[in-house]
Structure 1
Amino acid sequence: MKLSTVRTVLLATAVAAALAGCGGGSDSDDDKPAAGGETKNAAPESQYVDGGTFTMSLAGDPGKLDPQSSASTQLFAVNQLAYDNLVFVDGQSGEVEPQLATDWTVDGTTVTLTLAQGITCSDGTPFTASQAADNISYVGDPKNKSPYLGTFVPVGAKATGDDAAGTVTMTLAEPAPFVLNGLASLPMVCASGMQDRAALKNTTEGTGPYELTEAVPGDHYTYQIRDGYTWGPNGATTDENGMPDTIVMKIVQNEGTASNLLLSGEVNAATIQGPDAKRLDAAKLFSVSTTAMVGEQWFNHDAGHGTSDPAVRMALTQAVDYAELAKVATAGEGSPATTFAGLAPVACPGDSITPAMPAMDADAAKGPLAGQKLTFLYSSAAGSAVAAAAELAVQQWKAAGADVTAKGVDETALEGATFGTGDWDIAWLPLNVNSPDQLVPFLSGPGLADQGTNFSGIDNADYTAGVKAATQMAGTEGCQTWLDAESKLVAAADIVPFATSAVKTYGNGAQFDYPGTFMPTSIRMLAK
């Protein structure tokens, strides 16, 4: 649940919650459903081959590898190789399942987790309960500027570890209905990495199934399997038939190029969401899919921007046909968004968006938009369909009188603008999580100037009041209140989520689960 910066969000094609992994059980059925998504053309276990190299394309460089410094799409993907979470969420049932922790209880504002025995870090040292508590405390300290504070670790949470008992105790400042969902996306760093955060820029110090052996920024990152790993999602191990010895994460920014490499067998996996998906489907490649937000429009609310004016934000929203935009952005394969937190398993299903969406009224938009000069950013890694949708949006805004300049930029530049320079007015940055509480720090509260993650500067009193009420309710009992709060943001045109689609990850020479994020323990190499 991711996406993100320095402090970034769960961006672009990201589906970034940590969900289910495969424990390596035998199954010979074709079209077996993956946890949290759909699997097509799965091969029987008899075709698995041990060892070898699995190569996956990434649409951008993950940047600094410190797993708690960013929640970008690319860093989330590589994090899963070297780092584990305390728990994970099954993509089909939505149930919390074991990972580093085997048992847990939530009693009001006290969360207690018991770690599995025998967990070791990549340097061979034991991973302890006090180290787990140190991770939670690090993210929970605002001075460390982790994007996970308020997203995966509730604000004000404190943690202690009892190494003798193997238990971690979190004390929350107030009830957090989906606190375990958050911990399912929080990577745990080992003691050596906690003591030397600078070293995490280009090394890994985790308990995960693979360890970084080579980093060539902008080109590739190579990981080697760890023997003796037995504490993966729901008991996954590295002693499974068909797992690769080596994983290479190769930077390939162009979807067309990634598709060609996939078809030729030069890469084994690639996430493709644009028109190239059609030719990969025609080639009958293995694929897994997960429905994710692919179109979400943010406005810069800060002073000095035309979009700081509520009338301008409303006009920009009224000027666009978002149903048509959703069709273009998803190459006709998606649909309008219905909830802010829509990644499977969805904690609060429903529709907070459609009833609240301002109706298209281009004539009404012309007055506030006349003479407005605005900068619009979107990710160039999101594919050609999103680029075409961006062109359509600009056409409609210009027809209503706004002078909008669109720029497709890589994720580093997009993050640098939205979380750094502030040189943007409109941005498409889809956030993908599965519970609504994980979005709160991005939609309310302190902005960047005040060390917060509310990067667009949203200040909606109705949303804040709704969140306050929802957090006092237990789990899904508060879902309607969460959805009502989201509707307030849409009705005010503070933010416009507009498109979801089944994002597909294709495989050639290998199969795997990808239920929201890359799951290395599920990879199985296939005989050629």
Structure 2
Amino acid sequence: MKLTPAALGLCVTAALLTGCGGSGSDSDGNGSSGDTQYADGGTFTMAMAGDPGKLDPQSSASSQLFTVNQLAYDNLVAVDADTGEIQSQLATDWKVDGATVTLTLGDGITCADGSDFTATTVADNIAYVADPKNKSPYLGVFLPVGAKAEADDAAGTVTITLAQPAPFVLNGLASLPMVCEAGMEDRASLSDSTAGTGPYVLTEAAPGDHYTYEIRDGYTWGPDGATTAEKGMPDTVVMKVVQNEGTAANLLLSGDLNAATVQGPDAKRLDAQDLFTSQTPALVGEQWYNHGDGHGTADPGVRMGLTQALDLEQLASVATAGNGTPATTLAAIQPVACPGDSVSGNVPAQDVEAAKTALAGQKLTFLYSSAAGNAVSAAAELAVQQWEAAGATVTAKGVDETALQQAIFGTGDWDIAWVPLNVNSPDQLVPFLSGPGMADGGTNFSGIDNPDYDAGVKQASGMPGTEGCDTWLQAEASLFTAADIVPFANNLVTTYGNGAEFEMPGQLVPTSIRMLAS
């Protein structure tokens, strides 16, 4: 994924997951011309919609953590956002042979503390994420369950043995951040500091306000060989927490921010200015139901009724301020591994009379991200009106992204939630759509149990690469026909730049940042 993120800067505001890979040109073609003048050094300041919390890069699937991870940590490989081709990062050579993945590390890779980054460190990272006791949300998402790794430091190679072939294993490894040995030995230290090989190192953490990173000299192993010696790279990167889109837009226009992702009505006034932009298509409207015991939405009839009560086309239009399109697949980040349309004709159509039978007397809680902008808030109000017209009493709560993540992955205090998860290959979503729930150490936070989906995943996982795409899409469709989950809107997510250019294929690519001469 030219993870790409998550916005993710955010791939999409309120997305909990966006895979990263990282190289390629900005997606809308509004890049620099040959005569653009860059200024070396300086400070690049970017808004993010929430606080990343604990900074351990393998501890959370939040979009904010993905955002800051890119600065201090590298992945084993990268994915070109335009072509989908695997590119070098920490590894300069790779081979997949059935259930065996062999990677050769580049020479001279060092950690921010000056120590060497070795094949043994890679193997230790694989072992940590693969151990269910560590509860990394990346297990089964970016690293197949059952993976084991062996290192040969003399040859600089790592051999990963999978429990079974995985069709998009390299795409997953392109989103799995590698921690240096000091961090592996002292995981607690990663809560508020960094231990990576990335182009920047954390120098100041002010939770809830900002995180400051300083450039590393001698960095030469970025995506496709990117370095920190390029003219125009900032010496300092500040990731500033700005939860309100209107505030972010104002700070961008005043020059107090160099980058911000804005999706709602404030985007119109930014579009009227001569700003740099980078766009990426993303799934921005995705409705989840809590299938857990004790929730009204545990009843399949209630989930169906809630879906049938909605005019999804109208909701999509409102949520995207009239700029979006209907959802087509669950994995929407370019380059999409399995393009197609698993949504059309499979999501239940609006049928208010049928919904009334199922929803009479239901009292439900609906969560959405307050950081997603005014358009999403307006769409949430519209959804509540349509549910109540069908007989349900729904309490909507716009909460910040930290509270949303706590509810989804912690307390379970929700019935309906709008949580767009963004990846580029369908296998990366399997742990969120099936298998163990949160109480059992899994990441299936809504508790989905769909035998047709599980059977489709099993079949598709045994097929090489894109040969299984039709089966993957059919598996997704089974979730929609059962109203287990409801994708309803795609949009081009725009990140605006003032005084700087950058690549933002979902996630900010740090080595792409260029400060513009005034």
Are the aligned partners of 2:204 and 2:211 in contact in 1 as well (CA < 8 Å)? yes
2:492 aligned residue: 502
CA distance in 1, matches of 2:36, 2:274: 20
Structure 2 length as normaliser, TM-score? 0.97
Amino acid at match of 1:98: S
Amino acid at match of 1:161: A
1:421 aligned residue: 411
Amino acid at match of 2:413: D
Are the aligned partners of 2:6 and 2:506 in contact in 1 as well (CA < 8 Å)? no
Are the aligned partners of 1:15 and 1:343 in contact in 2 as well (CA < 8 Å)? no
Q: Deviations over 1:476-522 (max 9, x none)?
A: 00000000000000000000011110000000000001012111100
1:460 aligned residue: 450
Are the aligned partners of 1:122 and 1:226 in contact in 2 as well (CA < 8 Å)? yes
Q: How does 1:155-170 map to 2 (within 5 A)?
A: 155-170=145-160
Residues 1:329 and 2:319 are matched in the alignment: yes
Counterpart of 2:236 (choices 243, 246, 249) is: 246
CA distance in 2, matches of 1:503, 1:10: 6
Q: Deviations over 1:318-343 (max 9, x none)?
A: 00011111111111111110000010
CA distance in 2, matches of 1:266, 1:47: 20
Are the aligned partners of 2:13 and 2:372 in contact in 1 as well (CA < 8 Å)? no
Residues 1:233 and 2:220 are matched in the alignment: no
Q: Deviations over 1:29-77 (max 9, x none)?
A: xxxx52xx21426354541010001111111111110000012111111
Amino acid at match of 2:189: A
Are the aligned partners of 2:309 and 2:351 in contact in 1 as well (CA < 8 Å)? yes
Are the aligned partners of 1:58 and 1:249 in contact in 2 as well (CA < 8 Å)? yes
Counterpart of 2:54 (choices 64, 68, 78) is: 64
Q: Deviations over 1:337-367 (max 9, x none)?
A: 0000010000000000112111110010001
| 4+ aligned runs moved over 6 Å, structure 1 | none
Secondary structure of the residue aligned to 1:476 is: helix
Amino acid at match of 1:442: F
Query: CA shift at 1:161, angstroms?
Result: 1.1
Counterpart of 2:19 (choices 14, 17, 28) is: 17
Counterpart of 1:100 (choices 90, 93, 110) is: 90
1:280 aligned residue: 270
Counterpart of 2:138 (choices 148, 162, 167) is: 148
- Gaps of at least 5 residues in structure 2 are none
Q: How does 1:86-485 map to 2 (within 5 A)?
A: 86-485=76-475
Amino acid at match of 1:99: Q
Structure 1 length as normaliser, TM-score? 0.95
Amino acid at match of 1:159: A
- Does 264-273 or 45-54 show the bigger shift? 45-54
Are the aligned partners of 2:6 and 2:20 in contact in 1 as well (CA < 8 Å)? no
Q: Deviations over 1:147-192 (max 9, x none)?
A: 0000000011111111111011110001100000000000000000
Amino acid at match of 2:223: P
CA distance in 2, matches of 1:200, 1:473: 38
Amino acid at match of 1:308: A
Are the aligned partners of 1:442 and 1:455 in contact in 2 as well (CA < 8 Å)? yes
> Structure 1 residues 41 and 438, CA, compared in 2 at 3 Å: closer, same or farther?
closer
CA distance in 1, matches of 2:199, 2:190: 17
Amino acid at match of 1:238: T
1:525 aligned residue: 515
Amino acid at match of 1:12: A
CA distance in 2, matches of 1:414, 1:55: 25
Q: CA RMSD in A?
A: 1.4
CA distance in 2, matches of 1:204, 1:38: 32
1:30 aligned residue: none
> Structure 1 residues 488 and 364, CA, compared in 2 at 3 Å: closer, same or farther?
same
CA distance in 2, matches of 1:325, 1:40: 30
Q: Deviations over 1:452-472 (max 9, x none)?
A: 110100000000000000001
Secondary structure of the residue aligned to 2:288 is: strand
- Gaps of at least 5 residues in structure 1 are 23-32
Query: CA shift at 1:16, angstroms?
Result: 2.1
| Percent identical residues | 72
Query: CA shift at 1:15, angstroms?
Result: 6.9
Are the aligned partners of 1:100 and 1:115 in contact in 2 as well (CA < 8 Å)? yes
Are the aligned partners of 2:242 and 2:248 in contact in 1 as well (CA < 8 Å)? yes
- Does 116-125 or 278-287 show the bigger shift? 278-287
1:79 aligned residue: 69
Paired residues in the alignment total 512
Amino acid at match of 2:401: E
CA distance in 1, matches of 2:320, 2:220: 39
CA distance in 2, matches of 1:140, 1:272: 36
Secondary structure of the residue aligned to 2:458 is: helix
CA distance in 1, matches of 2:37, 2:15: 31
CA distance in 1, matches of 2:403, 2:489: 23
CA distance in 1, matches of 2:34, 2:206: 35
Amino acid at match of 1:21: S
Are the aligned partners of 2:337 and 2:425 in contact in 1 as well (CA < 8 Å)? yes
Secondary structure of the residue aligned to 1:38 is: coil
CA distance in 2, matches of 1:101, 1:422: 39
Are the aligned partners of 1:445 and 1:459 in contact in 2 as well (CA < 8 Å)? yes
Are the aligned partners of 2:220 and 2:228 in contact in 1 as well (CA < 8 Å)? yes
Amino acid at match of 2:319: A
CA distance in 2, matches of 1:451, 1:10: 26
Are the aligned partners of 2:111 and 2:196 in contact in 1 as well (CA < 8 Å)? yes
CA distance in 1, matches of 2:316, 2:41: 42
Are the aligned partners of 1:39 and 1:286 in contact in 2 as well (CA < 8 Å)? no
1:515 aligned residue: 505
CA distance in 1, matches of 2:266, 2:46: 17
